[in-house]
Structure 1
Amino acid sequence: MHSAVDWLAFAVWKDGRLVRSLSLSPDSGITENIGEPLPFELPYWAGDRPADIVPWPGEEEEPYALPFHPLELGEDALRALCGFVQEGRPEPDDVNADAIRLHGFHVREPNGPDSAGQEAELRTAAAAMDPPRFYTLGPDGALIERPGP
């Protein structure tokens, strides 16, 4: 989901085969709709979950470009597919995503230098660089070098 543009996309594979993929936003419309809708989608496609959009003060109310709000469907997709919601009201059976501990990994070249050696290489490379240069756009759109901050 991308809330700034009301975009939603998700996909489901089963045994290595794509069975459902949906991508939509009010600006682009439905850009991908592969496979049969999943059970949690059905109320949206049936018109039972219409978008409830409140216009900004002073703006004319135009109908929303989609029959439902993508982010609401996205929250239901998260719950149905992953067991939790991001912004919606959690239900008793939802997974507490904040309680799940994730592990991070540092990937490095197996035969490369150790971290101290990498730091030394980085310092050497940075010392060999010219100082940064700063530019601004001129009236004709050309780049003009300017003094640094």
Structure 2
Amino acid sequence: MLVFSEGRAADPLRVARESDEAAAAALVARVHPGSTVEPAPGESLWDGTYPPDGACYAASFEGVEIVCDRRLMEHRPSRMPPHLLAAARRDRVFFHVMHSVSDALTFAVWEGGVLVRSLSLSPDSGIVENIGAPYEFEAPFWAGARPVKPDPWWGEDQPPYPLAFHPLELGEEALRAFAGFVLEGRLHPDDVDADAVPLHGFRVTDPNGPDPAQVWAELEQRVAAMRLRSHTTIQFGANRGQDGA
């Protein structure tokens, strides 16, 4: 997800009920230059952060614009293609990606075109990118106050979680801090009602690019293979321990 805003995105999102469809389509065209952009069924912000293959949800409100597209997951913030930042036409850019299958989180913030914070990490890859000073909402996580508790379903001999905190828990706090809403967890009284924020739907096709469904299927296969290797290593280590080797 990319959120383009002037200052706090939460303020205009609290009253956002009708998006400019033409402006949203133009935004999608800037995000996907050279691609064919066609209207498709829309969604609410609550349900639209994870669009289907080849789909893109977007909205343009007074003071804030949003693009939700799974193809954005491919980008590392420090290497963000310039056209994506230029698509904003606003002072602040917030980039947010979470993937529950791999417990992966990436979020970044640009102010006036300058990258001021970027964090990308997962249990399998570790910390991939950590640029800029952490925000205040990150402090408890880095201080060890939000550790991952052992899952009783895994048994007593499970290894500790590879990171000091769960990336998706931090991801929810980042989402609240810069977009004003969360997807999971306890709601705050002043959280944005994401279910009331409409997004337009678009089908985006790159005439010179690979089929989006095939690309995503290959990505899912790679993630599944990584998790299988990780689980096999854990089981192997546990078996060796039981054998006294």
- TM-score w.r.t. length of structure 1: 0.67
Q: How does 1:8-23 map to 2 (within 5 A)?
A: 8-23=105-120
Change over 3 Å in CA distance of 1:62–1:14 after alignment to 2: same
What is the CA RMSD across the aligned residues, in angstroms? 1.9
Change over 3 Å in CA distance of 1:57–1:24 after alignment to 2: closer
Which residue, out of 41, 47, 71, partners 2:168? Answer: 71
Specify the code of the residue in structure 2 equivalent to 1:101.
P
Residues 1:47 and 2:144 are matched in the alignment: yes
Shift, 1:102, TM fit: 1.6
Shift, 1:59, TM fit: 6.5
Aligned pair count reads 108
Distance in 2 separating the partners of 1:72 and 1:21: 16
Partner of 2:54: none
- TM-score w.r.t. length of structure 2: 0.41
Partner of 2:124: 27
What per-residue deviation string (whole Å, max 9, x for no partner) do you get for residues 120-141 of structure 1? xxxxxxxxxxxxxxxxxxxxxx
Distance in 2 separating the partners of 1:50 and 1:30: 16
Identity value in percent: 68
Distance in 2 separating the partners of 1:30 and 1:107: 32
Distance in 1 separating the partners of 2:117 and 2:147: 22
Instruction: Give the gaps of 5 or more residues in structure 1.
Output: 109-149
Which has the bigger relative contact order, CA under 8 A and spacing at least 6? 2
Distance in 1 separating the partners of 2:184 and 2:157: 28
Structure holding more helix per residue: 2
Specify the code of the residue in structure 1 equivalent to 2:201.
G
Q: Is the 8 A contact 1:55 1:61 kept in 2?
A: no
Partner of 1:104: 201
Change over 3 Å in CA distance of 1:58–1:2 after alignment to 2: same
Shift, 1:56, TM fit: 3.1
Which residue, out of 174, 189, 192, partners 1:95? Answer: 192
Structure holding more strand per residue: 2
Distance in 2 separating the partners of 1:48 and 1:107: 42
**Matched residue SS, 2:153:** coil
Change over 3 Å in CA distance of 1:46–1:101 after alignment to 2: same
